[in-house]
Amino acid sequence: MKKVFSILLLSQLAFNSLAQCDLRVSDNKRFLVYKKDGKVFFWMGDTAWELFHRLSREEADRYLSKRAEQGFNVVQAVALAELDGLNTANVYNENPLIDNNPATPNNTYFEHVDWIIKKAAEHSIYIALLPTWGDKIYKDKWGTGPEIFNVGNAKAFGKWIGDRYKNYTNVIWVMGGDRNPRNDSDVNIWRLMAQGVEEGTGGSLNTLMTFHPQPNSVEDAGSSKWFHHDDWLDFNMFQTGHCRENNVWQRIKIAYDKQPIKPVLDGETIYEDHPVCFNAKDLGTSSGYDVRKHAYLSVFSGSFGHTYGCHDVWQMYAPGRTPVNGPHFYWYDALELPAASQMKYLRRLMESRPMADRVPDESLVTDLLHEHDRIQVTRGKDYAFIYSSQGKEMNIVLEKLTGETVIGTWYNPRNGEIKDAGRFKNKGQQKLKAPSAGYGQDWVLILDDATKDYKKPI
């Protein structure tokens, strides 16, 4: 009877779980899955670096509610925030550390962080929590604030913050914070902080952890350059950056092919309404199409999910705040920008078919073209998704899927619209042309084994 009561109590208290995060890496090491049933979790993330620092509780609930409505299930945010997060107080006039000392966190500040993470759980949103932004380690690179972490205090702070959130089931840990280690000392600091988090949560089985870098070379493959063989790094993360035509598929492939196998995610790609390559004068600002294109190319080349970002939202730009790199909208208006509302169509598509056996497979199309009108393919055993970034005609190699007959369906990433693409024998090759073509006219071709009777993405 006592055991039954304990189980009931645990089910009622969302933040008193025996395990820190209710997600884990899948057995095949390609995805994240729920611990309770092994169902694949598709990461549909948003970037809200200044969430804890700049929003009130009412504003945070407004933000989280809208993102949940739009289909987001992960939010990336920073405890010691980027925009002078040590010295500029939050909306309640609280700073995160007393005297900028990692050994003396300000409990009142972190009670606000607690509240937001709990509120996120109410909206079925995971918080990808960065203990600190990189400028707290690299004072000469970005933002303001002293260099406060070293080999003497990084582990202790990691242990403190890990212990604080060890009973929160919706926390995923992210080391780094837009920084690449400069040397072995920096690598060691991040390792010590990660070890501290693990100790604070009660062990590696209670954490799900990655590292958020700056953009690096194609060959360096994101976080894998420094930490791929570290046990605490459960999945690799990229920042492919804010240029319009990044070769995201090749970057993902290099990390995807590494041994031991680890899941891969693009944790920061081109933001909506961001100066392209930080050069708005010559290149303009990014569009919904730019953002959408990177999302599909990334996921179809092997990512287990995707993180969207909006330039106005990450900094929570609002009246009276100094703009960073020319935002055009206040954060609460920018929540409605086109790509933000279109990310749900990507999630619906991916969740409409079995995900556990999904792999990238470029061999389904004879001509992938080049980066400006790229075609990218992912498939399971009995279905395939082929993304055409400009709706070009494609020559499909059949017999890669099960079944004698294949059903084709066109899926519009802009609005979720469905159009019939025909029914044909699963033999030889088949040419298909999208309903529209040209710049911004991207489409996904869905191919299904006719015997499976899969439903349309809704």
Give pLDDT, residue 122.
98
Give pLDDT, residue 10.
36
Give pLDDT, residue 257.
95
User: pLDDT tens digits, residue range 194-228?
Assistant: 999 999 999 878 899 999 998 788 777 899 999 99
Q: If we measure between CA atoms, which residue out of 454, 344, 335, 336 comes closest to residue 406?
A: 454
- 10-18 long-range contacts, CB within 8 A, separation 24+: 14/118, 14/121, 14/169, 15/118, 15/121, 15/167, 15/168, 15/169, 16/167, 17/167, 17/168, 17/169
| Residues with Cβ within 8 Å of residue 85, at least 6 apart in sequence | 53, 78, 96, 133, 136, 143, 145
Sheet holding 74-80, edge to edge: 209-212, 171-176, 126-132, 74-80, 43-47, 305-308
Give pLDDT, residue 17.
41
Give pLDDT, residue 137.
59
Q: If we measure between CA atoms, which residue out of 360, 313, 268 comes closest to residue 45?
A: 268
∠ CA 359-216-242, nearest 5°, is 85
8 Å CB contact between 45 and 71: no
8 Å CB contact between 12 and 1: no
Give pLDDT, residue 14.
42
Give pLDDT, residue 5.
34
Alpha-carbon distance of 446 to 136, in angstroms, equals 46
Task: Tell me which amino acid residue 203 is.
Answer: G
Residue matched to tokens 């609460």: 332
Q: Residue 395 — φ and ψ, nearest 5°?
A: -105, 110
| Residues with Cβ within 8 Å of residue 216, at least 6 apart in sequence | 180, 222, 225
Give pLDDT, residue 145.
59
Beta bridge partners of 80: 132
Task: Tell me which amino acid residue 36 is.
Answer: K
Give pLDDT, residue 11.
37
**Domains of the chain and CATH, by start:** 2-351 (3.20.20.80), 359-452 (2.60.40.1180)
Give pLDDT, residue 261.
97
**Global confidence as pTM:** 0.93
Task: Tell me which amino acid residue 425 is.
Answer: K
Buried (b) or exposed (e) across 285-315, using 16+ Cβ within 10 A? bbbbbbbbbbbbbbbbbbbbbbbbbbbbbbb
Give pLDDT, residue 94.
98
Give pLDDT, residue 125.
98
DSSP letter, residue 415? T
Structure token pair of residue 234: 């459960």
Q: Which residues of the chain have pLDDT under 50?
A: 1-19, 142
Task: Tell me which amino acid residue 282 is.
Answer: D
Alpha-carbon distance of 203 to 193, in angstroms, equals 13
| Residues with Cβ within 8 Å of residue 368, at least 6 apart in sequence | 362, 374, 375, 376
